[in-house]
Amino acid sequence: MSEAPGADRAHDHAAFMQAVMDMNPHSLMERMHIEVLEGSPERLVARMPVEGNTQPYGLLHGGASVVLAETLGSLGSAMHAGPDRVAVGLDINATHHRAVRSGFVTGTATALSLGNTLACYEVVITDEGDRRVCTCRITCLIRDKAPAS
């Protein structure tokens, strides 16, 4: 039986994301227990537990939402850039809509623009009731890798 169209591409994206995550097994993504569920340059989905990522009032920390958004936007930008280029964060902003006290939040990053030098994503973070918790926009600069020294 042959694989569905695009299956090789999906496998390549998964392998790329794993290679990026393997670069630093003690990254912030690991410490915050962010789990990537789906990934391509056009759309990425990840979830993160609220527990362990709260501020003193017991609510999801706004910075944790931004970390989730930047993780998704950076991974998508890196996939778009390809193996011979790098993506670095240029700008991120966030609007927090509602508080979350427990469970998981899910971030969905949708590419707004994938160009030669910039990649821009809207990241919508929702709670387990599919209510919008936070909306972020992240822009990454894409550039050639520095020559090896």
- State which residues form the domain around 55: 7-144
pLDDT given at position 17:
73
pTM for the whole structure:
0.89
Q: In this structure, is residue 1 part of a structural domain? A: no
Q: In this structure, is residue 51 part of a structural domain? A: yes
Verify whether residue 51 is a known catalytic residue.
no
CATH code of the domain covering residue 131: 3.10.129.10
Q: In this structure, is residue 53 part of a structural domain? A: yes
Q: How far apart are CA 74 and CA 41, in angstroms?
A: 10
Contact residues for 53 (Cβ-Cβ < 8 A; gap 6+): 32, 33, 60, 61, 64
pLDDT given at position 36:
93
Q: How many domains does the chain have?
A: 1
Q: In this structure, is residue 37 part of a structural domain? A: yes
pLDDT given at position 10:
56
pLDDT given at position 98:
97
Which residues make beta-bridge pairs with 96? 134
pLDDT given at position 83:
86
**Residues 101-133: pLDDT tens digits?**
999 999 999 999 999 999 999 999 999 999 999
pLDDT given at position 14:
76
Contact residues for 122 (Cβ-Cβ < 8 A; gap 6+): 109, 110, 112, 135, 136, 137
pLDDT given at position 64:
98
Low-confidence ranges of the chain (pLDDT < 70): 1-11, 149
pLDDT given at position 53:
97
pLDDT given at position 23:
77
Question: What H or E segment, with its residue span, contains residue 109?
Answer: strand 104-114
Q: In this structure, is residue 2 part of a structural domain? A: no
Considering 3, 35, 51, 70, which one is annotated as catalytic? 70
Q: In this structure, is residue 56 part of a structural domain? A: yes
